[in-house]
Amino acid sequence: MNRRRAFTVAGQAVGGIAGAIIVLPAVGFALAPIFEKPKELWESVGLTSRFTDTTYKPVVFTIVEGIGEAGKTTAFVRRGSEKYDENPNSFVAISTRCAHLGCPVNYVSAAESFVCPCHGGVYDFQGKVIGGPPVRPLDRFQTRVERGQVQIGPRYSVTSQLQPVRARDPGEFTGGVWNYIYPPRPDTAPAP
Amino acid sequence: MKFPDVLIPPPLKKPQKPGTNGGNGANGGTPTDRAKEAPADLVGWLDERTGATSFLTGMLYRKVPKGTNWFYTLGSATLFAFVVQAVTGVFLAMYYDPSPTQAYGSVTHLTNDVFLGEFVRGMHKWGASVMIILIYLHMARTFVFGAYKYPRELNWIIGVTLLILTMVMGFTGYLLPFDQRSFWATVVGVNINGTGPFIGPYLSDFLRAGADFNAVTLSRFYAIHMLLIPGLLIALIGAHLYLVVKLGTTAPPWMHPKRNRAIAKEERV
| Contacts with B175 (C-beta within 8 Å, 6 or more apart), sequence order | B182, B183, B185, B186, B218, B221
Amino acid in position B183: F
The answer on pLDDT for A50 being more than 60 is yes
Q: According to the model, what pLDDT value does residue B118 have?
A: 96
Amino acid in position B149: K
Size of interface A-B (CB pairs under 8 A): 83
- Distance (Å, whole) CA A95 – CA A4: 66
Q: Is B254 within 8 Å of B67 (Cβ atoms)?
A: yes
* CA separation, residue A156 to residues A125, A163, B55 (Å): 18, 10, 62
Q: Which DSSP letter does residue A11 get?
A: H
Q: Is A133 within 8 Å of A116 (Cβ atoms)?
A: no
DSSP string, B179-197: SHHHHHHHHHHHHHHHTST
Whether A34 and B202 lie within 8 Å, measured CB to CB: yes
10-residue averages of pLDDT along chain B (269 residues): 65 69 55 82 89 88 91 96 98 95 95 96 97 98 95 97 98 95 93 94 93 91 96 98 94 83 79
The pLDDT of A69-95, averaged and rounded, is: 93
Q: How many CB atoms lie within 10 A of CB B1?
A: 7
Chain A CB contacts of B178 under 8 Å are 70
> What SS3 class is residue B226?
helix
Give pLDDT tens digits for A107-153: 999 999 999 998 999 999 999 999 999 999 999 999 999 999 999 99
Amino acid in position B132: I
- Distance (Å, whole) CA A86 – CA B138: 61
| This prediction's pTM | 0.85
Check CB contact of A70 with chain B, cutoff 8 Å.
yes
> What SS3 class is residue A191?
coil
* CA separation, residue A64 to residues A25, A93, B187, B194 (Å): 27, 17, 15, 20
Q: According to the model, what pLDDT value does residue B265 have?
A: 83
Q: How many CB atoms lie within 10 A of CB A41?
A: 16
Q: How many CB atoms lie within 10 A of CB B69?
A: 8
Nearest chain B residue to A179, by CA? B198
Nearest to A100 by CA among B180, B168, B187, B174: B187
% of residues, chain A, pLDDT over 90: 89
Of residues B21 and A172, which shows the higher confidence score? A172
Q: How confident is the model at residue A38 (pLDDT cuts 50, 70, 90)?
A: confident
Whether A33 and B205 lie within 8 Å, measured CB to CB: yes
Check CB contact of B180 with chain A, cutoff 8 Å.
no
| ipTM summary value | 0.88
Q: According to the model, what pLDDT value does residue B196 have?
A: 94
Chain B CB contacts of A63 under 8 Å are 212
Check CB contact of B129 with chain A, cutoff 8 Å.
no
In chain A, at which residue ranges do the beta strands (DSSP E only) sit? 43-47, 57-62, 72-79, 91-95, 106-108, 113-115, 122-123, 129-131, 140-146, 149-158, 164-165
% of residues, chain A, pLDDT over 70: 100
Q: According to the model, what pLDDT value does residue A121 have?
A: 95
B 196-235 residues inside an 8 A Cβ radius of A = 197-198, 200-202, 204-206, 208-216
Q: Which of A2-16, A35-49, B11-25 has the lowest mean pLDDT?
A: B11-25
Q: According to the model, what pLDDT value does residue B25 have?
A: 46
Q: Is B169 within 8 Å of B225 (Cβ atoms)?
A: yes
Q: Is A189 within 8 Å of A40 (Cβ atoms)?
A: yes
DSSP string, B78-139: HHHHHHHHHHHHHHHHTT---STTTHHHHHHHHHHTSTTHHHHHHHHHHHHHHHHHHHHHHH
- Distance (Å, whole) CA A70 – CA B101: 8
Chain B CB contacts of A185 under 8 Å are 201-202, 205, 211
DSSP β-ladder status, A122-123 and A129-131: antiparallel
Q: Is A104 within 8 Å of B189 (Cβ atoms)?
A: no
